[in-house]
Every structure is written in C-alpha cells, then in structure tokens.
Amino acid sequence: MDFGKLDDISGVYFSLPPDSTDWAALPNCRQNTPQIYIGCPVWACKEWVGSLYPTNTREKDYLRHYSRQFNTIELNTTHYRIPDDATIHRWSAESPAGFRFCPKIPQEISHQLMLQNAESLTAVFCKQVIGLGERLGICFLQIPPYFAPEHLSVLTLYLQKFPSDVPLSVEFRHPAWFKGDSGKRHFDEAAKIFQELGIGTVICDVAGRRDVLHQRLTTRTAVIRFVGNGLHPSDYTRIDEWISRLQKWLEKGIEAIYFFIHEPDNVLSPQLADYLIDNLNKRLGLTLKRPQFAAKAKQMNLF
C-alpha cells in the first residue's frame, strides 16, 4: 500500500494517540466470545512458496494454503473487478469454515462515480459477496483522497441505501477530515451518522499519514490496516502498543477485530502477522492459530 509510505521514517512519532471513541454511545451488548481475525492483503505472493506455502505450490492453490495459515484476507481484488459466481464458489470451496473474506468496494463506485448513481452497481457487488455466506467478513469502503467533508451528504445518502445485511466500514483519506477543529467537527458528524446506520470505521496506521490514525470506533467491530516498514524495529514496538490497545478494547466489550498487516511488497507481512498473533496469545491468554513456516524461513526470521 503506497498511501502514506515514506522512504525515511526516522522522524516519525509512532505512538498511538488516545482513544477518541465515545464508548458510551455504543451498545454494550456483547453476548459471544469476541472474534479476532488477522491476515494479509494478498494471497498471491510467489515469494511465500517454500516458506509459508509448501515447495512447488502452484498459483491456483495459493488461496487454499493461505486460508489454512490465516483466518482472514483484505480482499483488494474486488476493488478492481466484481467477482462472478464461479469465482465466489471457488473462493468458498477452497477456504475452510471460519475463514473470512473482507472485500473492498469497487473503485468504479468509490473513485469514479464518487458514490453517485451507483445503486445498481452496488447491488450487483453486494449480491455477489453475500454469496460467500458465512465466509463474508466485513466489506470496506475506501473513500478517495479527493473526497472532502463537503461531500458528506453524498456519502450519507449512499450509506442509507447500502444493504443492511452486508457489514461495512469506511476509510477516510482526505486531510480535511482530520485537520484542526473543523476536521474534528466533520469527523464527529460523520461518526454520528455511522453509529446510527451501524457502519464502522477503518483505522489506518501508516508512517506518512498519522492523522488517519483516528482511533474512533462507531460500532463494536474494529478494522485496522497496519503498514509496516520492512520489519524495522519500530514495526514490532508499534505492534506491541497495538496489543495493549486491543486488550483495552476487548475489556470494554468489542465484538470483533480485523487486523490486516501490510509490508513493502507484502513479502514480509506473514512474519509480522505471526508476531502479532503470538504475542496476543501470550498477553491475552488466547489460542489464535499461528502460521507455520518452513524451517528455512524460521531460521531467516532470527536475523
């Protein structure tokens, strides 16, 4: 993910800001064990063959192996093309029960149409992803960087018409949503609408845009997109701080967490995801399944 990418991170202050979530406004009604999903933004990574995937794994089998290493995927492929029935069936058949696909709204809807006159295309998209059945996690709508607060009425109308049976979170990128008192006012207005509609927010943790790390939840499902820097030491300290924050949120009654790990070219994403899973298990007494690497890959991780 190039958004917020920096070549030099030496001057970045990575600590998480305080929560701005108005927890009192969220219904405290968790009845089941919270669900935690951790994964990567791709499964088609040939560099994982021989480490995360068995040696000689063919490309057509990448999803089958990925979905047995992680329990979710940030499904960016739907940003470029709505999957047909055969693709939906194949994804469902190749992934185990408990796996969750998290599709991104097509860019034709979000970026080209700017959410206007997009009802029919949205209906087609939703019909297809609903075909995933229990394997559908949460969809996310990435608002383009030129979608400013003055377009809130457009977003509101789109969300009001969005099918209520398809879980959705929204990611803002335009700086005006976050800058100064006016940004806070705009974001607060949007957050109130999201809470009323049961729409979540996407929190992005990336070096070059610390403003989008807003820590604002509007439902009891958290979606975090974490962008690392090639397993730089700060990647691990940032994850450690996130574990403390997630523990706090779980204690407050959060129902589901989706945490997606990005790294440059995503080659090293599984290693950092494994670090997150391992330390969540140790710190919180969980039993989340860790990915299994080949012996050579494990040895390389020590350096």
- Give the pLDDT band of residue 26 (cuts 50, 70, 90): low
Q: What is the pTM of this model?
A: 0.94
What percent of the chain has pLDDT above 90? 89
Instruction: Measure the CA–CA gap between 274 and 54, rounded to whole angstroms.
Output: 17
- Give the pLDDT band of residue 302 (cuts 50, 70, 90): very low
Residue 23 has what pLDDT?
65
Are residues 252 and 23 in contact, defined by beta-carbon separation less than 8 angstroms? yes
Mean pLDDT of 147-156: 97
Note the pLDDT tens digit of each residue in 218-264.
999 999 999 999 999 999 999 999 999 999 999 988 999 999 999 99
Mean pLDDT of the chain: 93
Residue 1 has what pLDDT?
73
Residue 300 has what pLDDT?
42
DSSP-derived secondary structure for 104-129: BPPHIIIIISTTSS-HHHHHHHHHHH
Q: Is 75 left (phi over 0), alpha (psi -120 to 50) or beta?
A: beta
Q: Which residue has the higher pLDDT, 2 or 263?
A: 263
> What CATH architecture applies to the domain 32-300?
Alpha-Beta Barrel (3.20)
Note the pLDDT tens digit of each residue in 102-134.
999 999 999 999 999 999 999 999 999 999 999
What percent of the chain has pLDDT above 70? 93
Q: Where are the domains of the chain?
A: 32-300
Task: Name the residue with tokens 């089941």.
Answer: 32
- Give the pLDDT band of residue 24 (cuts 50, 70, 90): low
Residue 219 has what pLDDT?
94
Note the pLDDT tens digit of each residue in 251-294.
988 999 999 999 999 999 999 999 999 999 999 999 999 999 98
